[in-house]
Structure 1
Amino acid sequence: MVAINNRLYLAKYWVVILLVAMSANIKAQEEISLEDDMRPVWEAGIFAAAFNSPEYPAANQSQTNVIPSPYFVYRGKTLRIGDGSIARAVAVDKSWYELDLSLSASFGANSDDNLARAGMPDLDFIFELGPQIKMRLSKFEFEQHGRGELFLNLQTRGVFSTDFSGMDHRGYVFQPDFRYRQKGWLSDKTALSISVSPTWASEKLQDYFYQVDQDFVTEQRQAYDAKGGYLGTRLLVSVSFNATENIRMFVGGSTSMHEGAANEDSPLFLETNTYSIGLGLVWTLLQSEERVSGR
């Protein structure tokens, strides 16, 4: 029985790793190519990354996670998988907009290791899934610094948490994302990405992060009834470059600004500004000889 439980734990752990890796790899792949780049129809390899980020929005403690995972990208004539999104139908791609699915995922937090949440339930692994519309607002050509594109991505996602013994719906988020990408920023193989993403969350998700029920009140933590509304705005800057012909590296940093958030008065809301850093690589091991436009 112990051996079975251990195998189940490992299986659950790798499911978490794969979902978080899929989310991170989608973002990494999105930064690599611009609209007119020619890329393999399919490619497969290894994705690895390490991130240090707050344990939850506006937390004053951070955690570091390392993500190793295989990856696969397919760029077909009518369907594309893993190419900057989970999946999308090329039939709905237009010159100025695309419709596809948005995925986001994050590790949970152990309340025993978090002073503000001591004695409260753990925060489980969270994943978010929903539709998004990507609108290309403008293109730029630079004489010495390559090409750039400006996007507005409108994203609405359902939020779910799980400890893999069950799953709970945690509400919804709405997240417009203004994103500028420039390929050839420092060299032909260097890409720069800058994004600004304000986020609004439903009351159910805000409850998950900031609510303090009477059962969890202490001398240092008063009761608090969370409400839906503005959660915060993230500013992200990342750079990717070719380390070798088959290995592309990326490094990035972000700050999340929570001033004016709906639940600033919660005893679990501790930092107005938080910071995250991450680095990783995409190592292509196999790819097709046939090429197709990267977007």
Structure 2
Amino acid sequence: MVAKNGQFYCVKYLVLLLFVLASIQVIAQQEVALEDDMRPVWEAGVLAAVFSSPEYPGAGQSQSNVIAAPYFIYRGETIRIGDGSIARAVAIDKSWYELDLSLAGSFNANSEGNEARVGMPDLDFIFELGPQLKLKLSKFEFEQHGKAELLLNLQARAVFSTDFSSIHKRGYVFQPVLSYRQRGWLSEKTALSVSLSPTWASEKLHDYFYQVDSAFVTEQRSAYDAGSGYLGTDLSVGLSFNATEDIRIFTFARASLHSGSANEDSPLFIDKSTYSYGLGMVWRLWESEEKVSGR
């Protein structure tokens, strides 16, 4: 799908909006609000984050990126925006399960700066969008360390790449996420989250990362035909706390384990284990007087 003339700006701003929403989603998840927590119906402010991550799954090199953007969260009875997801389908929001939209994204990578991909096309910005079924498996209460819950999120997403002049479909991913979230771990406002998430992807996405066509074969890089299947498993840990009443700090670390990946024989597959980490701040500037319980 190619965007021309005025369509270029629509594509550009749509993708930028999706990345802002993805940032809001990550930050809202780091906050770990449980059912009895009272929060504003709406809030708005700014967020900033810096993080380092591999250029693609199994890459031998990482890159650093910075995000600075406004954010808006709305926690209504029928529509909820930016509160841990893009939008929740409240009509099927029950006490033990929810159905909403799952969003993920990753930044572009310049192939000339990557030893394994020199001479190959650059990797564009990637965004993923699809349904998510969130199952609440169990709840816990601790005498001195607050409350916690165990969740299983079943996520299926369509994958797209863009250089802001065109959008290309890159297949699908299926990613179940088992997560443990605890509020009050070290203090009342401290939140801890731990998650484990294996990922499987269709052939088109594996092709995008690992395929080597004849035109890009070199003495160091042989031809390779990628296939579908297992991509890898992420183990993530996040911690957040209040620096002031309106400023919240969050940090995270993630180990991505790709041993057994469907395309680990590709010359573009370099490391079986890669690592990501980041630090961010959410500054709430405005909020409603009305409060609602955590959902």
Is the pair's TM-score, using the shorter chain for normalization, greater than 0.5?
A: yes
The residue type equivalent to 1:92 in the other structure is I
The residue type equivalent to 1:165 in the other structure is S
State how far apart, in whole Å, the 2-side matches of 1:107 and 1:59 are.
14
Matched, 1:204 2:204: yes
Structure 1 gap segments, 5+ residues each = 1-7
Matched, 1:194 2:189: no
1:138 positional shift: 0.2
* Aligned ranges 1:120-159 → 2 under 5 Å: 120-159=120-159
CA change 1:17–1:49 in 2 (3 A) is farther
1:31 positional shift: 3.0
Q: Residue 17 of structure 1 contacts residue 67 of structure 1 at CA under 8 Å; is this kept in 2? A: no
1:13 positional shift: 7.0
SS of alignment partner, residue 181 of structure 1: strand
- Give 1:54's aligned residue: 54
TM-score by length of 1: 0.95
The residue type equivalent to 1:160 in the other structure is F
What CA deviation, in whole Å up to 9, does each residue of 1:89-148 have, x standing for no partner?
A: 322110100000000011110111111100000000000000000000000000000000
Q: Residue 126 of structure 2 contacts residue 162 of structure 2 at CA under 8 Å; is this kept in 1? A: yes
- Give 2:4's aligned residue: none
What percentage of residue pairs aligned between the two structures are identical? 68
- Give 2:98's aligned residue: 98
What CA deviation, in whole Å up to 9, does each residue of 1:210-239 have, x standing for no partner?
A: 000000000000000000000000000010
What CA deviation, in whole Å up to 9, does each residue of 1:257-282 have, x standing for no partner?
A: 00000001000000000000011011
- Give 1:3's aligned residue: none
State how far apart, in whole Å, the 1-side matches of 2:82 and 2:113 are.
35
What CA deviation, in whole Å up to 9, does each residue of 1:71-95 have, x standing for no partner?
A: 0000111110100000013221101
1:18 positional shift: 4.1
Matched, 1:29 2:56: no
What CA deviation, in whole Å up to 9, does each residue of 1:165-186 have, x standing for no partner?
A: 1110000000000000000000
The residue type equivalent to 2:38 in the other structure is M
Q: Residue 12 of structure 2 contacts residue 164 of structure 2 at CA under 8 Å; is this kept in 1? A: no
CA change 1:82–1:286 in 2 (3 A) is same
The residue type equivalent to 1:65 in the other structure is N
Aligned residue pair count? 289
- Give 2:247's aligned residue: 247
Q: Residue 206 of structure 2 contacts residue 227 of structure 2 at CA under 8 Å; is this kept in 1? A: yes
The residue type equivalent to 1:78 in the other structure is T
Q: Residue 230 of structure 1 contacts residue 262 of structure 1 at CA under 8 Å; is this kept in 2? A: yes
1:164 positional shift: 1.2
* Aligned ranges 1:254-273 → 2 under 5 Å: 254-273=254-273
Q: Residue 11 of structure 2 contacts residue 165 of structure 2 at CA under 8 Å; is this kept in 1? A: no
- Give 2:275's aligned residue: 275
The residue type equivalent to 1:22 in the other structure is L
